[in-house]
Amino acid sequence: MQQAFKAHVPNRAPGLRRAGCKRPARLACRAASAVASSVSADAAISWATSKGAKLERASLSSDLLTDRPLLIASADAQQGDVLVSIPDSAWLSAEAVKKTTVGKLAAAAGLEPWLQLALQLVADRFGSVKSELAPFAESIPEDLDSPLLWSEEELRELQGTQVLQTLGGYMSFFRSTFSQLQSGLFAASPAAFPPAVFSLPHFLWAVAAVRSRSHAPLDGAKIALTPLTELVSHRRASNSKLSVRSAGLFGRGQVLVVEATRPIRKGEALSMDYGPGKLDGPVLLDYGVIDTASPKAGYSLTLTMPDSDRFIDDKLDILESNGLRQSMTYNLTPDEQPGAEMMAYLRLMELKAGDVFLLESIFRNDVWSFMQDPVSEPNEDAVCSTLAGGARAALSGYGTSIDEDLAALRAGSAPKGSRAEAALLVRLGEKEALDAVARFFEDRRATQLKRLVYYQERRLRRLGLVDDEGRTTYDSFFKDGIA
């Protein structure tokens, strides 16, 4: 089970359907800090408005603490009001890229949309032959806050974290992708892809730009980068959201709008949640930011029913019939107990020996409901031992302790708004979640196993053969020879 406490690293380029923001700042988050200056923000707005974008109820301002550019409400707004509108003519989309030389070649090679966008960004930012989309690429600073571009020294602050483990998988994938491009598309069209322009550092910068600036609903196969959205701050308690609406003659066009989700006062910074439901670690990895005003600290635990289990086919059948998969990921947080579904999954995973009769076909429709409560003392003991031991083992992999991180946070050793502060908060959150889950299962194992009501007793109670105090109700049948 210790393996379950290691980061789950997908074998593809995850997160390319997600949005971007940068490093955390005093009180909240330093969202959109990768907008290098008000000059680049002005340039982005100028280009976007020339393409039809409109600041409906928004204007450019700067954060008083960080001096970064951001969008604020230029007038009071109500829920549902459009604050910013960006027509598809201003989107950096696969359709737009296909009109360029690089885009045509990338599309003809069958590259995925996100990769087409990344190559176009490289060409327009670092190449000598630029497309009409170049102003968009040039508005993106080279010094992005994505962990993909952090220095080795900065990455050491993430030692032991899931962020660093997952980042390693990402980097391997992107380096492999670049190598394939070099031997394939680049070699076939050297004039369009000169090595000095299409280098690994430039490629990684473009990948980070695509990751940090792609927002749902313009993600996945429909991925598109849009100007101005990077000026909307990341906040968990957000006041706006993105949505796509039909526009133009007969609704053939599309427009991305920043829409108010609650009343907004004039002068309030526009904000949206870049990673709804996601913990701080994945948000930092995907967007380069966390919201310190409303943190979502935690650890993502991926549980996998092992193929070596003698009863794997039965267990997978039970999972599938209840809408679950062989591998499931659950978020562990410092202030919440493990959820009912996770506990049921663990009991099914640890089902063995005298409890496997529950896997018989006659119980197939009911076995998942049986897992919602303790099955037997050995089964519950195995669950507790597995989770507590795995969490403690994971904690030993960090370079610092919880107390050391708390001391560093109190001492302010990581400057406000720095990558070091973001790394400190993420690794502390992971460790606090692991410590909490370890304590929960250690206490459950030490003090509660004898007090729990298990399957056999619950069944006898339903049959009326055991009372609520656990005493049998059929002793009289065995008195005076009656039986």
171 pLDDT more than 60: yes
**Residue 257 and residue 316 in one domain:** no
pLDDT score of 102: 96
Per the structure, the count of domains in the chain is: 2
Residue 284 binned pLDDT confidence (cut-offs 50, 70, 90): very high
172 pLDDT more than 60: yes
**Residue 251 and residue 303 in one domain:** no
Looking at residues 162-176, what average pLDDT do you find? 96
Q: What CATH number did the domain enclosing 313 receive?
A: 3.90.1420.10
Q: 180 lies in a domain? A: yes
Q: 36 lies in a domain? A: yes
Nearest-angstrom CA–CA distance, 229 and 225 = 9
Spatial contact of 328 and 305, defined as CB atoms under 8 Å apart: no
H/E stretch holding 85: strand 82-87
Q: Collapsing DSSP states into helix, strand and coil, what is residue 352?
A: coil
- Which of 287, 312, 333 finishes a domain? 287
pLDDT score of 143: 86
- Domain of residue 37 covers 15-287
Nearest-angstrom CA–CA distance, 289 and 30 = 7
Q: 460 lies in a domain? A: no
Q: 466 lies in a domain? A: no
Tokens of 473: 């109700």
Which pTM value belongs to this model?
A: 0.84
* Other CB atoms within 10 Å distance of the CB of residue 224: 25
- Tens of pLDDT, residues 190-229: 999 999 999 999 999 999 999 999 999 999 989 999 999 9
36 pLDDT more than 70: no
Q: 125 lies in a domain? A: yes
63 pLDDT more than 90: no
**Residue 282 and residue 309 in one domain:** no
- Which of 287, 311, 342 finishes a domain? 287
- Tens of pLDDT, residues 390-431: 999 999 999 999 999 999 999 999 988 889 999 999 999 999
- Which of 253, 287, 321 finishes a domain? 287
Looking at residues 365-384, what average pLDDT do you find? 96
pLDDT score of 73: 97
**Residue 148 and residue 225 in one domain:** yes
* Other CB atoms within 10 Å distance of the CB of residue 190: 10
478 pLDDT more than 60: no
Residue 5 binned pLDDT confidence (cut-offs 50, 70, 90): low
Looking at residues 356-382, what average pLDDT do you find? 94
313 pLDDT more than 70: yes
**Residue 262 and residue 384 in one domain:** no
Q: At what angle do helices 162-181 and 280-287 cross, to 10 degrees?
A: 30
Q: 461 lies in a domain? A: no
Q: 478 lies in a domain? A: no
Residue 16 binned pLDDT confidence (cut-offs 50, 70, 90): very low
**Residue 336 and residue 192 in one domain:** no
**Residue 283 and residue 303 in one domain:** no
**Residue 372 and residue 261 in one domain:** no
What b/e string do you get for 378-395 counting C-beta neighbours within 10 Å, with b at 16 or more?
Answer: ebbebbbebbbbbbbbbb
473 pLDDT more than 90: no
pLDDT score of 295: 87
Residue 464 binned pLDDT confidence (cut-offs 50, 70, 90): low
Tokens of 340: 């009912």
250 pLDDT more than 80: no
**Residue 115 and residue 166 in one domain:** yes
pLDDT score of 65: 65
More confident of the two residues 351 and 1:
351
**Residue 101 and residue 250 in one domain:** yes
**Residue 171 and residue 280 in one domain:** yes
Range with lowest mean pLDDT among 171-180, 277-286, 368-377, 472-481 = 472-481
**Residue 368 and residue 255 in one domain:** no
Q: What CATH number did the domain enclosing 204 receive?
A: 3.90.1410.10
244 pLDDT more than 60: yes
More confident of the two residues 183 and 418:
183
* 477: exposed, middle or buried (Cβ count in 10 Å: 0-12, 13-18, 19+): exposed
pLDDT score of 364: 87
Residue 98 neighbours by CB under 8 Å, 6+ apart: 104, 107, 116
Looking at residues 97-122, what average pLDDT do you find? 96
Residue 449 neighbours by CB under 8 Å, 6+ apart: 377, 380, 381, 384
Return the percentage of the chain with pLDDT > 90, whole number.
74
Q: Which long-range contacts (CB under 8 A, 24 or more apart) does 1-4 make?
A: 1/386, 1/387, 1/389, 1/390, 2/389, 2/390, 2/393, 2/394, 4/301, 4/302, 4/303, 4/304, 4/390
- Tens of pLDDT, residues 71-98: 999 999 999 999 999 999 999 999 999 9
pLDDT score of 40: 77
Q: 464 lies in a domain? A: no
Which residue type sits at 468? D
Nearest-angstrom CA–CA distance, 229 and 162 = 28
In whole numbers, what is the pLDDT of the chain averaged over residues?
88
pLDDT score of 111: 97
